[in-house]
Amino acid sequence: MEVPTLRQPASLAEDTGALVDQALESWTAILGVDHVSVDGRSRAAAETATFATTHTVPAIVRPASRDELQECIRIANRFRIPVYPVSSGKNWGYGSRVPAADANVLIDLSRMNRILDFNEKLAYVTVEPGVTQRQLYQYLQARQSRLWLDATGSSPDCSLIGNVVERGFGHTPYGDHFAQVCGFEVVLPTGETAETGFCRFPGALTGAVYRWGAGPTLEGLFSQSNLGIVTRMTIWLMPAPEHFEAFFFQCNRNDQIAPLIEALRPLRLQGILRSTVHIANDYKVLAGIQQYPWQETNGETPLRPELMTGLRSRLKFGAWSGSGGLYGTRGQVAEARRAVRKALKGKVDRLQFLDDRRLAFASRFAKLYQLMTGWDLSKTLDLARPVYGLMKGVPTEQPLASAYWRKKSVPPPSMDPDRDGCGLLWCAPIAPMEGQHVEVIAELTNRILLEYGFEPSISMTLITERAVACVISICYDRREPGQDDQAMACYLHLQRELTERGYHSYRLGIQGMSEMNGPDGYGRLVRAIKDAIDPNGVLAPGRYQPI
């Protein structure tokens, strides 16, 4: 592999190259040579996502503090070099670390990984962008805290802030991440800083407990945007309830999804279910259990629905499998259990409740349990344990393995989908929480993905009281010739058909930023703000930029 020298950055015009060189000298003066990478290996890694990309990364800089970051941004402005910040850079399926435009210098914030404040009583933590799910989990464990974080199903090494600013979601009552934060410190595109909410007032006692502050509320500007870099954030944590219980359910037929959603909506709206409920189709579940069944299919793709039916009955999972958590006092959980049972009666083919005691019991006596209940727990438990943990705020590696679905070798101990050529494109439309809508999305997905030769893997999350966030995975092996193009064509087709029907994505990867387009009032307003606060256009050009 070609290793470009500092003097000859690849794919940049000569004079731009000279500016980059000067900027690199300045950055190196600030950060030290260890924290500015221009070697080909680092750059190539940064230019690699889980799908085909073309944008180059001339260098990677790694500030360790807000002050260093500010200096880096000022330098970027001085030399007019676009920069692209990432927290942990694990935005798999949406572009990983690859910038939304060409020739952006990557600003890697993973060294800014301090936990700045923690309050057990008021249940919050204040962190920098490099703090990961694992780090916070361990921090809470070490303090024997009674607080739970809300973890996403991605890697434990994902940044908390990174996920919040992308408006990701998790599994507890704090599952809509962007709704559970406040008190941002932001480095603006000029290098200046701003604090949101009451944090802006020196000596304020309420910066971490009340979101809105006084005057215009600005947090929203710094989510899914290129308007600033969040360098500090307070994340609210959930006190462990007196009792926790998970429920798992299964539908045998594809057409059960619509009535299921109709049955769940009232529980969500009534606050009986306070947490996000996750429902996965058979393809999604299978990819969680194992890799592509190359033997059964004689190496042919895609996995046909007819074959899937056989796998379902052999491996004992449904057309749809779901899970949710019940949180509260013992009495509240018992009451919620009754309500869930009642609502799902006749809607699901299997419904099982699990708590710590039963999980421990089942793990020890899986065989006996199967005899007693007819439910084969061994596979179910393997699948259930990480999901169960997520509902209690325990991050897990497990779902990440599904990125290796179409690979022919097993996932390595240290998984890195970018490095390992895993193909993954995520499309994440929101639907109103009504049966008819999720049905339309499921049907579209099935038709289009199979047509392009991919498995229609879908999860549906009842993310709020009124909305379902669907995550559709286009999973493939990047090492297979032609698959990159095929997958991208599939993604774009799916995205077009979804938006034409009114289902827009809650989150976009660099493959789908064009969905933001539109010379409408919103777009013009965001553009006016961008121009006002980023006069040199250095911060993440193209990222969630409507015009």
**DSSP letter assigned to residue 87:** S
Return the residue of 7, 25, 80, 239 that touches its own copies, per CB under 8 A.
Answer: 239
The pair of three-digit structure tokens given for residue 535, joined into one six-digit string: 């006069």
Return the residue of 506, 509, 511, 539 that touches its own copies, per CB under 8 A.
Answer: 506
β-pairing, 457-462 vs 350-354, is unpaired
**Shortest distance, position 138 Cβ to its own copies, whole Å:** 23
Q: Which is nearer to its own copies, 142 or 532 (CB)?
A: 532
For residue 63, say if its preceding peptide bond is cis, omega within 30 degrees of 0: no
Q: Which is nearer to its own copies, 121 or 357 (CB)?
A: 121
**Shortest distance, position 272 Cβ to its own copies, whole Å:** 7
**Shortest distance, position 77 Cβ to its own copies, whole Å:** 15
Q: Which is nearer to its own copies, 403 or 444 (CB)?
A: 444
List residues bridging with 400 in a β-sheet: none
**Shortest distance, position 85 Cβ to its own copies, whole Å:** 15
How many angstroms separate the CA atoms of 122 and 101, rounded?
A: 41
Q: Which is nearer to its own copies, 261 or 287 (CB)?
A: 261
Residue the block writes with tokens 């060409």: 102
Torsion over CA: 62, 65, 71, 76 (sign): positive
Residue the block writes with tokens 């690859």: 98
How many angstroms separate the CA atoms of 74 and 78, rounded?
A: 6
Return the residue of 68, 195, 245, 455 that touches its own copies, per CB under 8 A.
Answer: 195
Q: How many residues bind its own copies (CB under 8 A)?
A: 101
CA 109-115-121 angle, 5° bins: 145
Identify which range of 91-99, 131-139, 219-227, 362-370 contacts its own copies by CB under 8 A: 219-227
Q: Which is nearer to its own copies, 225 or 301 (CB)?
A: 225
Q: Is 422 helix (H, G, I), strand (E, B) or coil?
A: strand
**DSSP letter assigned to residue 272:** S
Return the residue of 16, 28, 42, 193 that touches its own copies, per CB under 8 A.
Answer: 193
450 contacts its own copies (rule: CB under 8 A): no
Return the residue of 79, 249, 283, 327 that touches its own copies, per CB under 8 A.
Answer: 327
C-alpha distances out from residue 174 to 88, 171, 178, 222, 474, Å: 22, 7, 9, 20, 28
Q: Which is nearer to its own copies, 209 or 307 (CB)?
A: 209
Return the residue of 18, 218, 359, 415 that touches its own copies, per CB under 8 A.
Answer: 218
User: Contacts with its own copies in 251-270 (CB under 8 A)?
Assistant: 265-266, 269-270
Q: Which of 277, 301, 317, 228 is nearest to 477 (CA)?
A: 301
**Shortest distance, position 204 Cβ to its own copies, whole Å:** 5
Going residue by residue from 170 to 189, which x/- string records binding to its own copies, judged by CB under 8 A?
Answer: ---x----xx------x-x-
Return the residue of 113, 223, 290, 446 that touches its own copies, per CB under 8 A.
Answer: 223
Residue the block writes with tokens 């800014």: 112
**Shortest distance, position 418 Cβ to its own copies, whole Å:** 24
Q: Give residue 51's identity as a one-letter amino acid code.
A: F
Contacts of 522 (CB under 8 A, 6+ apart): 546
The pair of three-digit structure tokens given for residue 162, joined into one six-digit string: 């990174």
Identify which range of 281-289, 415-423, 489-497, 526-534 contacts its own copies by CB under 8 A: 526-534
User: Contacts with its own copies in 406-445 (CB under 8 A)?
Assistant: 430-434, 437
How many angstroms separate the CA atoms of 6 and 38, rounded?
A: 6
**Shortest distance, position 335 Cβ to its own copies, whole Å:** 4
How many angstroms separate the CA atoms of 394 and 388, rounded?
A: 9
**Shortest distance, position 228 Cβ to its own copies, whole Å:** 9
User: Contacts with its own copies in 328-387 (CB under 8 A)?
Assistant: 328-329, 331-332, 334-336, 338-339
CB atoms within 10 A of CB 306: 7
Identify which range of 107-115, 135-143, 238-246, 399-407 contacts its own copies by CB under 8 A: 238-246
Return the residue of 13, 29, 410, 529 that touches its own copies, per CB under 8 A.
Answer: 529
Going residue by residue from 483 to 502, which x/- string records binding to its own copies, judged by CB under 8 A?
Answer: ----------------xxxx
The pair of three-digit structure tokens given for residue 276, joined into one six-digit string: 């996000």
Q: Which of 260, 276, 288, 268 is nearest to 458 (CA)?
A: 288
CB atoms within 10 A of CB 98: 27
What is the helix (H) or strand (E) element at residue 305, kind and residue range? helix 305-315
Going residue by residue from 84 to 123, which x/- string records binding to its own copies, judged by CB under 8 A?
Answer: -------------------------------------xxx
